Amino acid sequence: MSIEKAATAGAVPGTEVPPVDFTPPKITRLTDPLLTTSEVARVLHIHVNTVRAWSDLGILKSFRLGPRQDRRFKLKDVEEFIMNYPITDTPES
């Protein structure tokens, strides 16, 4: 039995059955995961307070979630940060 026939089986004659959407849901969490402040700090090898400061200054893009206003960072934004900011071994004088 086809899906269409199964959807209309037992239906009252003269009534229409709405079409069923079989497209998979969009899963952005898997394609662009969200990182916590601690996870970003580990990836960048910096202290979590530095991540917070850079977020406050707009150096790292972030957004706030929930009543505690926790920071979250998109993986693509962290990758973009890594590609655009040069790494130096010594602080500039």
Q: In b/e form, how buried is each residue of 49-78, taking b as 16+ CB within 10 angstroms?
A: eebbebbeeeebebeeeeeeeebbbbeebb
Read off the pLDDT of residues 5-46 as tens digits, 9 standing for 90 and up.
Answer: 545 555 566 666 666 665 655 555 566 789 999 999 999 999
Residue 93 confidence (pLDDT): 55
CATH class held by domain 31-87: mainly alpha
pLDDT in tens, 37-55: 999 999 999 999 999 999 9
> Domain coordinates of the chain in residue numbers?
31-87
CA distances from 10 to 4, 16, 17, 22, 48 (A): 12, 12, 11, 21, 60
Q: Is pTM, for the whole model, over 0.85?
A: no
Beta bridge partners of 64: 71
Tracing tokens 């497209």 back to the chain, one arrives at 23
